[in-house]
Structure 1
């Protein structure tokens, strides 16, 4: 642990790690014409399509954790770049379904390869992508991500 991290709260460390990751992914996918947020969208869309899904913008927002309005904005930008196709949802006239274009699939596959290499380097201290410590770390992160943070309104905030 670096001197700057000693004594830091877990929340601060999570924030710093997420910022380190965001910046690293931004730099890694920039040569492919993507930002980290765009990568998150196309990589998620790629995985969902491979599972046979053609998600709506709302479903993709729920999957990525991004705000629906932001997903809409990203989708329009990616559509203008020729990477994403936005089509009316046949079951809901208010919804839009997203899919990757041929060019989008090609760029996404290359971006996924780049990000996987980056992830392996990040996880090297834990034994790499296949390491036992990485498996435990991933389970712990999933547990934290699945824990709701909504606090009931009737619970008073503790003052110091």
Structure 2
């Protein structure tokens, strides 16, 4: 008997959990006019601003794991909504720096509180945010996130016979 017949693979479970989380956050922040991706961007931007940074779109893409082109699209939408300001980077004429507007900071703080309550609910079965099982899960997830993944060359994959 192989592992596949015993239940879902870890990859499937990670995907399902990420989809569950994305949908839950989308629904939770929708009343604030945000999507999950926009929330990820503004929450990360607020954290970087609190550290004294005014990040470029590229730096924000690196922080969030989102594609730079997608960050640019999100930043334009958030700028149109009055939540983010985009300005040329004085150190790099090709780069654009992002910052939250006062309204953007307020919406982001509210969204963070909402998502924090959602996270508490998700982690309750593991003993909550401060639970030992949550600590282990966080450590294991960090290891997986730090593992580089390269797409396999289709010509190197074994063929079925």
TM range (shorter): over 0.9
- Rounded to whole Å, the distance in 1 between the matches of 2:13 and 2:153 is 28
Matched, 1:67 2:52: no
* C-alpha RMSD of matched pairs (Å): 1.5
Structure 2: segments with no counterpart, 5+ residues? 1-5
Aligned match of 1:20: 20
Aligned match of 1:93: 93
Aligned residues: 155
Matched, 1:113 2:113: yes
SS, match of residue 66 in structure 1: coil
- CA positional deviation for 1:87: 0.6
1 or 2, which has the higher helix percentage?
A: 2
After superposition, the Cα gap between the structure-2 partners of 1:11 and 1:152, relative to the gap in structure 1 and judged at 3 Å, is: closer
Q: TM-score by structure 2 length?
A: 0.92
Mapping 1:122-133, distance limit 5 Å: 122-133=122-133
Structure 1 runs (4+) deviating above 3 angstroms are: 151-155
- Rounded to whole Å, the distance in 1 between the matches of 2:158 and 2:116 is 42
Q: TM-score by structure 1 length?
A: 0.93
- CA positional deviation for 1:157: 1.9
- Rounded to whole Å, the distance in 2 between the matches of 1:154 and 1:83 is 43
Structure 1: segments with no counterpart, 5+ residues? 1-5
After superposition, the Cα gap between the structure-2 partners of 1:117 and 1:91, relative to the gap in structure 1 and judged at 3 Å, is: same
Mapping 1:24-39, distance limit 5 Å: 24-39=24-39
Aligned match of 1:56: 56
- CA positional deviation for 1:150: 1.3
Q: Alpha-carbon deviations, 1:116-136, whole Å to 9, x = none?
A: 000000000101111110000
